[in-house]
Chain A
Amino acid sequence: MMDLSELERDAICELVNIGIGQAARSLGKMVDDRVLLTIPALELVEYANVLAMLGTETDAAVTAIKERFSGAFQGDAILVFPEKHSLDLVRSLLDEDMPIESLTELEQESLLEVGNIVLNACLGTFINILSCRLEIDLPVLFRGSIAKVLGQRATADNTIYMVMRIDFTTQKKMIKGYLVFLFDSDFTTTFLAQIHSYIRMQR
C-alpha cells in the first residue's frame, strides 16, 4: 500500500481541480446552466478500498466512462456513477424529467461527452502542468458491475487506484460521481515521480 503524503495529496488535488474547473465551464456553456464540480477527497487505495470509497458492492450496477491514456504514463481514467446517478446527471444537464427505464442512444452519447470533458480536463492538466506527453483515446461507455468496469486487473494484488469523489452540482441537484485513475503496472510510481518534480518546482 502506497501512502500519499499531505503534500502529494494536495498537489494532485490542485491539478485535478484546475482541470475540472475548466470542465465545469465547458459544461456550463453547453447547457446554459451553472455547473459546479468539486473534488472533496482523494485516496490511493487497493481494490477493496475502491469499493468502500465508492460505497458500492462488487456486483452493484454502475455506469462508467473510461478513457485509455498512454505515453508518459499509461492506464485508464474512469468516471464512475452508481447506475441511477448517471442518468440523473444527463437528465439534469439536459433539463429533462424522464423515467429511468432506459438510457437511449443519444443519452449515452451525452454521457460520453460529459465523461470526455471531465476526464480530458484532468488529463489535460496533467499534460500541461507536468509537461508530459499523453495520447488519450475516445471515451467508452461501460455498464455493469464495478469489477467488470475496472477490468481484469481490478483485483490484482498490487494494483493501486487513485480514487477521487467528484460532485456535480447543478441548480437542481447534486450528483456524486467518482474519478478513478488506474495506472498500468509501475506507472503509479512514474506518475508520483512527476508529481514530486512538480512539487519541487513549486517551491
Chain B
Amino acid sequence: MTIPTICSPDELATFLREGVDKADIGYIVIDRNFRVLVWNRWMERASGKERAEVLNTPFVTIFPEIKESRLEDAISNAVQRGMAGILSAKLHRTPPLRLHRIDGDTTPLTNPVIIIRPLEGSVPERNGCLIQIIDETNSAIREKTLRAQALALRAQEEQLRTLFEAINDSVLLLDKDGSIVALNDTACRRWGGEKDAMLGRKFLTFLPSPNANIHKRHFEALASSGMPQRFEDSLGEYTYLVSMFPVPNGHGAVHRIAMLASDITERKAFERRIFHLAHHDALTGLPNRAYLQDRLEHAIDLAKRMGRRLALMFLDLDHFKAVNDTMGHDSGDALLNLVAGKLQSSVRVTDTVARMGGDEFVVLLEPAGQDEDIARLTEKIISTLDLRWGSESDAIRVTTSIGVAVFPDNGHDARLLMKAADTAMYVAKAGGRNTFRFFSAEMTERTMERLHLERDIRDAISREEFELYYQPKVCFRSRKPCGVEVLLRWRHGERGLVSPAEFIPLAEETGLIVEIGEWVLEAVCQQIAKWIREGRQPVPIAVNVSPKQLFSGDFVALVISCIERYSIPSRYLQIEITESAVMADPIRAATTLAQLRELGINIAIDDFGTGYSSLSYLSRLPIDVIKIDRSFVAGLADRRENLEIINAIISLARALKMIVVAEGIETKGDVEVLTNASCHLGQGYLFARPMQIGDLERWLDARQPDHECWGCK
C-alpha cells in the first residue's frame, strides 16, 4: 500500500489503530496459527475479554465453540488457501461465536454476520486473516417486523379474497379505460366464463349493445364527476342493480372503478308477486278493491282530461248464499271463478273487472259509450250470468243484479261514483233481481224503454208483426200507375201501429235493420213471383235499402240469391237509397249500385235535394231514377223558387236520361205544375195512400197500369 505523505508513518499507525479501535464492528486479525494479533474495543466489550487477555492467544482457545465449525473451516480456508468467506446471520441455528450485544443491553449476540478475509503476509508463512463481526440484530428485528406485517397483510388479503369470491354478486374492478383489473367468480359466471380471458379486456365488450350503452353512460358520468352511480339494468330474465363507485389512489384522485352488480331478479319477481297479491283477489285472480280504487281514480283523471265518459257497474249475484249453503264453499268458489271468467270475456281489454269480495263484482267501462250502449252491455252481462248451477235435479238458478253509475253524470270522484253504483245495485235488487238500474231513474227508464223496443223489434220478425204497404207511382202524362214503393209498418202486439220514425233509427243503430231489410226484400220478391204465378203482370216494386245494409258487403249477393230463388225478372225490382246515404261514402256506393244495375235492377235516389249533392256529381253515379223530396213539392203552386229548383233537376235528369219522380203530391195544382214541368212520375196521397196488397191489387185492376211508361221500363 502506498502511504500518502500528508502524515508521518507514526501518525498513520496511530490513526489506523484508533480507527480500528473505534470501528462499530468486531475487528480481529489472527495469524496463520490462529493467534490473535488485533482485537478492537468493540471485541473487548462484546466478548468481555480485554485485549491484553487475548493477544497471542489462539482464537480457538478464546472461543472453544468454533471447533470443527463452519467458522473454523472458513478461517482455515482464508489463512491457508486465501479464500474469503462470509457467515450470515440467519443460516446458523446457533451463533458461531458467544458474544454479547454492546449497545446498552448485554443479551447474547444472536445475529452476527461474520466476514473473513485472507491477509497476505510477506511470505506465505506470515499469512493471516481479518475477521469482521457485524451485529445484525437490528436488521433481524426489522425483518421480523416486516415479516409479521407481510404475514398480517397476506392474511388480510386472503380474507378479502375469500370475501370477494364468496360474494354472490358480481364484483369487478375496472381501470379508467374500462378494462377489467379484477373480478370474482360470480362475475365470471355472469358475464363471460373464463377469468383469464376476461382480465385486461374492456368490460363493455361482454354486454349486448343496449346494456353496454347504459353502462357506458354511467361509467363516463362517474369518470367525469367522481360521483358513485347506481342504476338498474336487465339482461333477458336477469335483472340487476349496478353500483359503480370510484376507487381513489393514494392522492384522492379516481384511480379505478369498482362495479358491483347485484342480482335482483328474484326480488323483482317477488315484488311483482307481492304487488299482484296486494292488488288481486286470491280466488279469481281479478283486481281487488284496492286495485280497482287505483284504476278508477286514474280512469277519472284521464276521462276528465280527455272529456270521456266512464261507467261503473256494481254486480251482485242473486241467491249466491243458497249455492254456498246447499252445495258448499268449494262449489261457491267454483261459481265465482266461472262468473269472473264470463265477466272478463264480456268486456273489452281496456275495461276492468274486479272482485270486491263475497259475490260482489265491479266492472269499469273505460271509456263508456252512450247510455244505450252501457245498458245493452249490462243486459248482455245479465243474460250471460243467468245460470243454472249444480246438478240437473237440484240446480239453483243464479242471476245477477247490476247497478250502474256514469261519470261525469252521477259523480265526479271515485267515492261518489262507487256509492252511486252501489245504491243503484240495491235498487236493482229491490226491483226484483236479475235486472239492472242506473243511478238516475230517468236514465234507467229511458234506456229500459229502448232496450225493450230493441227486443221487440227483434221479436217482431218472428212474430210476423211487420207488414208491407204499397204506394203507387203515377205517370203524369198518361195518368196511369206505373210502379209502387213498398213501405214497412210495424203492428206491435200491445202498442198497435208503431211509427217507422220511431223504430227505424233504433233498428239502424242496433244493426237490426239488416235483418229487417232481408225480410222485406224476400217478401217483395215473393210478391212479384206470386203475381207472375197468378198471371198478373207485375208492376215494379221499389224497396228502400238502408245504408247499413247497402254497405254490409253481401247485399248484392243477397239480391242475386232472392231473384234466383223466386225466378223473377230483375226489372220488377227497384232499389231506393237516400241521397245522404250515397253521399256518406260515394265511392263504395257507386261500386255497389253499379253491381246492382248490372243485374238489371233500377236504382232510385230517394229524398233528393236534401243531401246537398251537386247535380253534376249525379252524372257519375249509376242512377236511373231521382225522387224529388216532398219538401220541394209541398205548396209548389205558391213557391216560385222551388219550381225553379225542380225545373233544374228535371232538365238535368232528362239530359242524363234519368226518370224524375216527385214525392208528396197532394193537390191537383201540384199535378198541373209538375206536368207542365215535364216531370215523369208522381207519388202522393192525391193518387193513393200506401195500401196493403189486397187493396193495391184492386186499385191497380181498376186503373190498368201503364206497362210501357218510362218509369215502368
Contact = CB atoms under 8 A, between A and B. Distances in A.
Interface of A: 26, 29-32, 67, 71, 93-94, 98-99, 101, 104-107, 109-110, 112-114, 116-117, 120, 123-124, 127-128, 133-139
B396 interface: no
A71 B87 contact: no
B136 interface: yes
B86 A133 contact: no
A113 B89 CA distance: 9
Contacts of A101: 150
By secondary structure, the B interface counts as mixed
A128 B80 CA distance: 10
A133 B73 contact: no
A112 to B, nearest CB: 5
Given A26-B70, A26-B73, A110 B90 contact: yes
A128 B82 CA distance: 12
Given A99-B154, A105-B143, A116 B89 contact: no
B83 interface: yes
A134 B82 contact: yes
B109 to A, nearest CB: 14
Given A26-B70, A124-B77, A109 B89 contact: yes
Interface residues of B, number: 34
Nearest to B69: A29
Nearest to B117: A138
A118 B706 CA distance: 147
Nearest to B93: A32
24 contacts: A30-B93, A31-B93, A67-B84, A71-B82, A93-B91, A98-B151, A101-B150, A106-B88, A106-B89, A106-B139, A106-B140, A113-B87, A113-B88, A113-B91, A114-B91, A116-B86, A133-B82, A134-B81, A135-B118, A135-B120, A136-B82, A136-B83, A137-B84, A138-B85
Interface in B97-121: 111, 113, 115, 117-118, 120
B92 interface: yes
Nearest to A71: B82
A29 to B, nearest CB: 7
B83 A104 contact: no
B82 to A, nearest CB: 4
A110 B70 contact: no
A109 B600 CA distance: 124
B150 A106 contact: no
Contacts of B530: none
A26 B70 CA distance: 6
Interface string B122-161: 0000000000000010011011001100110010000000
Q: Which residue, of B93, B111, B117, B154, has the highest number of chain A Cβ atoms within 10 A?
A: B93
Given A31-B93, A104-B146, A106-B143, A112 B77 contact: no
Q: Shortest 8 CB-CB distances between A and B: which pairs? A: A109-B88, A113-B88, A136-B83, A138-B84, A135-B82, A110-B88, A110-B91, A110-B90
Given A26-B70, A128-B81, 16 more contacts: A29-B70, A30-B93, A31-B91, A104-B143, A104-B146, A106-B140, A107-B143, A109-B88, A116-B84, A120-B83, A124-B83, A133-B82, A135-B82, A135-B120, A136-B84, A137-B84
By secondary structure, the A interface counts as helix
Interface in B384-429: none
Contacts of A93: 91
Nearest to B115: A138
A106 B82 contact: no
Contact of B136 (A67, A106, A113, A137): A106
Nearest to B146: A104
A127 B81 contact: yes
Nearest to A33: B93
Contacts of A110: 88-91
A30 B91 contact: yes
A127 B86 CA distance: 19
A121 to B, nearest CB: 9
Contacts of B69: 29
Contacts of B81: 124, 127-128, 134, 136
B115 A30 contact: no
A106 B145 CA distance: 13
A127 B78 CA distance: 12
B84 A109 contact: no
Nearest to A112: B86
A94 B90 CA distance: 8
A120 B150 contact: no
Contacts of A116: 84-86
A30 B88 CA distance: 11
A31 B88 CA distance: 12
B113 A109 contact: yes
A106 B147 CA distance: 12
A105 B139 contact: yes
A106 B88 CA distance: 7
Given A104-B146, A124-B81, A30 B118 contact: no
Contacts of B70: 26, 29-30, 117
Nearest to A119: B83
A139 B74 CA distance: 13
Q: Which residue, of B88, B111, B139, has the highest number of chain A Cβ atoms within 10 A?
A: B88
Q: Which residue, of A30, A32, A133, has the highest number of chain B Cβ atoms within 10 A?
A: A30
Given A136-B83, A136-B84, A98 B91 contact: no
Contacts of A127: 81, 83
